[in-house]
Amino acid sequence: MPAVVIVGAQWGDEGKGKATDLLGSRVDYVVKFNGGNNAGHTVVIGDEKYALHLLPSGILSPGCVPVIGNGVVIDLDVLFQEIDGLNARGIDTSQLLVSANAHVIADYNRTLDKVNERFLGSRKIGTTGRGIGPTYADKMNRLGIRIQDLFDEKILRAKVEGALDLKNQILTKIYNRRAVSADEIVETLLGHVERLRPMVADTTLVLEQALKADKTVLLEAGQATLLDVDHGTYPFVTSSSATTGGACTGSGIPPTRVTRVIGIVKAYATRVGEGPFPTELFDEDGERLRTNGGEFGTTTGRPRRCGWYDAPVARYAARINGVTDFVLTKLDVLTGWDQIPVCVAYDVDGERVDEMPMTQTGFHHAKPIYEYFPGWHEDISAAREFSDLPANAQAYVRAVEAISGARISTVGVGPDREQTIVLHDLL
Ligand code: GDP
Ligand code: IMO
Ligand code: MG
């Protein structure tokens, strides 16, 4: 019966992949419902490390059906490369289902993503350059290419020609690039059809039948609350709905089915790309978080911007998503500081503000108001019970929990599956 949602509660890279993988063996379906290969989820199982971009992290759990939902945008080259990469490592991907309604990232949208960013100059978003924004823009403009269009060559050709009508004007007249040939695009897309066909399904129906048959469905977000196109730090966001609401529209599972919402939150904060980040550090502490936490992008390799834990952001994510449980990840990275600052509110132009400011200008002006908690120096990476943690680490977790808007049910003390402390079961 239950549909359980996993969402990022900050700016991404909180450890959603590890959390999904942890539950993978106990759920029947894992659905990716938004985003595309802008995501990068790292899962570590013993000596093996997997970087997943487009496939749901549940693909690593035998017996669990991975589903790419209608809310996802798919780069077919990447899809098949990722499948081949996993197959070569002995992972079975034959159960994968792909929604017929998901949109396809065509080559011209990858090009437009990159030239748009260059055109924006200092106003750029810092996108991953994977064509995500332009593909979602086409979807909203009703110019998108869907997976199902690949099965009807005539329709496909008409849609590609329709999309290119305007895009070629923009590419040639504004960006000084060469025009894209519809034939080439159609040919490339059709080249994937035979391999794709057996995976494509009416996934909304499959999931409805699964829930009716008492199966457990896990909905895994890409990106995060503060990157959500509606609820994030717009315009410095991705172009999809990365929050619980998006889990419903992006999968076709109705809200009344969702029984649990798990927010993944790091014990500090990171952000990739441009946009406001009140607790960002530009000093040695920031460098130390980046080094100790291995904070370099899984997708683009860019160094992640690092800062202290921001409780108003966590509370905001709790409220927007209806978080029932938080997974606090990377507590081990905070080992070694004498004291650890936590942002409890902001100073916005001389006024104390306890929640996310109403306006983006307010958020840009927000200066963190910190409370300081005593740190610890013991290695905590082998802790498996909460009581194994030093008293100050326990106190840090409890203090953060008290101001974050939901209980902390799991604490991560290392990248491996095993490096996990469970306080409350997540299923
Ligand atoms: P996602 O995009 O939310 O899935 O997160 P990423 O995989 O991009 O980034 C999280 C990184 O932290 C990955 O390299 C994980 O292996 C790693 N990780 C996850 N949980 C923990 C933890 O509790 N401790 C440490 N040290 N690393 C973790
Ligand atoms: P996961 O799922 C962190 C950021 C980009 C950029 C903005 C828009 O691994 O948490 P886009 O290419 O989506 O149009 O870029 O969003 N971004 C992410 N940052 N983790 C991610 O995914 C991200 N996906 C996109 O850096 O600032
Ligand atoms: Mg990531």
pLDDT digits (tens, 9 = 90+) for 291-337: 999 999 888 889 999 999 999 999 999 999 999 999 999 999 999 99
Closest by CA to 160, choosing from 132, 140, 181, is 181
In this predicted structure, the answer to whether residue 383 has a pLDDT above a threshold of 80 is yes
- The pLDDT tens digits for 50-67 are 999 999 999 999 999 999
Chosen domain end from 194, 210, 236: 194
> Which of 194, 220, 236 finishes a domain?
194
Residues 285 and 373 in one domain: yes
Asked whether 125 lines ligand 2 (CB < 6 A), one says yes
The reported pLDDT for the residue numbered 300 is 85
Residue-range definition of the domain harbouring residue 413: 265-422
CA distance 361 to 348: 10
Last residue of a domain, one of 171, 194, 217: 194
Model confidence pLDDT, tens digit, residues 385-417 = 999 999 999 999 999 999 999 999 999 999 999
Do 278 and 394 fall within a single domain?
yes
Confirm whether residue 332 is marked as ligand binding.
Answer: yes
CA of 328 to the centre of ligand 3 (A): 15
- Whether ligand 2 lies within 6 angstroms of the CB of 239 is answered as yes
> What digits encode the pLDDT tens for the residues 65-103?
999 999 999 999 999 999 999 999 999 999 999 999 999
Ligand nearest to the CA of 128: 2
Q: What's at 77, amino acid-wise?
A: D
**Same-domain status, 88 and 118:** no
Reported as type and span, the H/E element at residue 270 is strand 269-271
Kindly report, residue by residue over 329-372, the tens digit of the pLDDT.
Answer: 999 999 999 999 999 999 999 999 999 999 999 999 999 999 99
pTM across the whole model:
0.97
Q: Is 203 annotated as a binding residue?
A: no
Residue nearest to atom 20 of ligand 2 (CA): 12
**Is 415 within a domain?**
yes
Active site amino acids: 13, 41, 139
Question: Binding residue per annotation — 39?
Answer: yes
Residue 149 is assigned to a structural domain of this protein: yes
pLDDT for position 298: 83
Q: Which atom of ligand 2 is nearest to the CA of 274?
A: 27
The answer to whether residues 89 and 232 belong to one domain is yes
List the CATH number of the domain containing 390: 3.90.170.10
- Residue ID of nearest Cα to ligand 1 atom 18: 415
Judged by DSSP in three states, 118 sits in helix
Q: Ligand 1: residues within 6 Å at CB?
A: 8, 12-18, 40-42, 44, 294, 298, 329-330, 332-333, 412-415
414 is in an annotated binding site: yes
Over the chain, what is the mean pLDDT?
97
Q: Are residues 33 and 148 in the same domain?
A: no
Q: Report pLDDT for 1.
A: 65
The pLDDT assigned to 375 comes to: 98
The share of the chain scoring above pLDDT 90, in percent, equals 98
Please give the average per-residue pLDDT across 369-384, as a whole number. 98
The residue to mutate among 292, 329, 389, having the most atoms of ligand 1 within 8 angstroms of its beta carbon, is 329
Please tell me the total count of domains within the chain: 3
Compute, in angstroms, the gap from residue 41 CA to the centroid of ligand 1: 8
* Side-chain-facing half-sphere of 235: CA atoms under 13 Å: 8
| pLDDT tens readout for residues 32-44 | 999 999 999 999 9
**Residues 123-147, mean pLDDT to the nearest whole number:** 97
| b/e code 391-419 from CB counts within 10 Å (16+ = b) | ebbbebbebbbebbbbebbbbbbbbbbeb
Our mutation pick for probing the ligand 1 site, out of 14, 42, 49, counting the most ligand atoms within 8 A of Cβ, is 42
Question: Looking at residue 49, which CATH number applies to its domain?
Answer: 3.40.440.10
Residue 427 lies in a domain: no
Q: To which residue do tokens 């945008």 refer?
A: 73
